[in-house]
Amino acid sequence: MTDPITWADARETAWAAGYAAKPAPAELPFAEAAGSALAAPLTAVSDLPAFPTSAVDGWAVAGPAPWRIGGEVLAGHVPEPLASGAAVKIATGAQVPEGTDGLIRLEHSTVEDGYVSGPTDREWREAGEEARHGEELMPAGTPVTPPVIGLAAAAGHLTLPAHGRPRARVVVFGDELLTSGVSGKGRIRDALGPMVPHLLVGADVQASIGPVEDTLEAHVAALREALADADVVCTTGGTMVGPVDHLHAALAEIGAEYVLNTVAVRPGFPMLLARTADGKFIAGLPGNPQSAVIAVVTVVTPLLAGLRGLPLPPLRTVELAEDVPGRGSFTHLALVDPAGRRLAHHGSAMLRGLAGAAVFAVIPPDDAAAA
């Protein structure tokens, strides 16, 4: 087994591998582009707004007072020009009539004998106030968030230039695993099969495969089945070299090469990432639940970000409420609650602490975090 890569280098390496393998950009519907990155600048197809738009409910008036009321303007309609001395009721978002000199807010207006009065102001958005036709709204590389999608729609787009959502599949290894019932007689319920697909944010997750028998032949067959319709395959268990750990031999059988093999982190040391000859990825997650989740955040999340053209997800700083011990020369990812306190039930095989955690606190090698 090779020397483990550092935790920080593992994140960088996985992201770089994904970014280098990202698919060619395409014009994608908003739902498919969501969560990706713009592959080209987003520009305005028309002025934004396309016409003068009222910012208030009230009255549009022209010329000097008094203003005789002569109808109303609703959103979605093109109004007639407004003559001097005339007023029309206007709704928020409606097109301001040509010739309008000011708007009176509804709550500031007085109506009497067919006339309206009140203080006026230019409370409308001019055509092109937010953007002009052809103007760049967002640069290439911008993450496609819900507000970006809304901006694109308002600016006249139906699609966005982006990298498609990678297809992912989970393969669960282990004769000892049950998919229903309660643990007993040497067998345990599978927790990772139901959990891991929901951690693969940004991927189109296909149906899981397994539990797979603990034989080399079954492992090879399961990997080939998963790779037939997935770009990223996440396996659970079998990443060490025990008597029924066949993942490494199965990877060799299908001709996959390691991107990284073991990471200097606790929990999660025996994680791996491999790449097939046709550019697909296999992420080997350890079988213990906390180790598996750490493998996802260390390797799979950066890999998926790269495949979508996104930057490496940044780390944020958290203030801990108490000292958290390090793990010698290894990085320690410690479960902490929203108040920065280390949780009980934090063993690698435990799920209770994981379920109550807010974040993993990253404790650098040869260090302990001070409160």
> Which residues does 33 contact at the CB level (< 8 Å), separation at least 6?
144, 149, 159, 160, 162
Please name the amino acid found at residue 237: G
Residue-wise pLDDT for 83-121, tens only, equals 999 999 999 999 999 999 999 999 999 999 999 999 999
Q: What are the boundaries of each domain within the chain?
A: 5-23+166-307, 29-43+136-162, 53-125, 316-371
* Contact predicate 162/143, CB 8 Å: no
Would you say residue 1 has pLDDT above 60? no
Asked whether residue 176 carries a pLDDT value surpassing 90, the answer given is no
Task: Provide the pLDDT for residue 317.
Answer: 85
Domain 5-23+166-307 top-level CATH class: alpha beta
Q: Which residues of 154-167 are buried (b: 16+ CB within 10 A; e: fewer)?
A: bbebeebbbbbbbb
Question: Could you count the other beta carbons within 10 Å of the beta carbon of residue 325?
Answer: 12
**pLDDT computed for residue 33 by the predictor:** 96
Query: Any idea which architecture 53-125 has in CATH?
Result: Beta Complex (2.170)
| DSSP-assigned states of every residue in 21-64 | TPPPPEEEEHHHHTTSBBSS-EE-SS-BSSS-EESSSEEEE-SS
Higher-scoring residue by pLDDT: 191, 325:
191
Predicted pLDDT of residue 322: 84
Mean pLDDT score of the chain: 93
Instruction: Provide the greatest CA pair distance for the chain.
Output: 95
Whether the upstream peptide bond of residue 211 has omega within 30° of 0, thus cis, is yes
Query: Residue 104's beta-bridge partner residues?
Result: 59
- pLDDT of residue 371 exceeding 50, the answer is no
pLDDT per position as a tens digit, 56-89? 999 999 999 999 999 999 999 999 999 999 999 9
Residue 367: per-residue pLDDT: 65
* CB atoms near residue 218 (< 10 Å): 17
> Band of the pLDDT at 370, cuts 50, 70, 90?
very low
Is pLDDT of 368 > 60? no
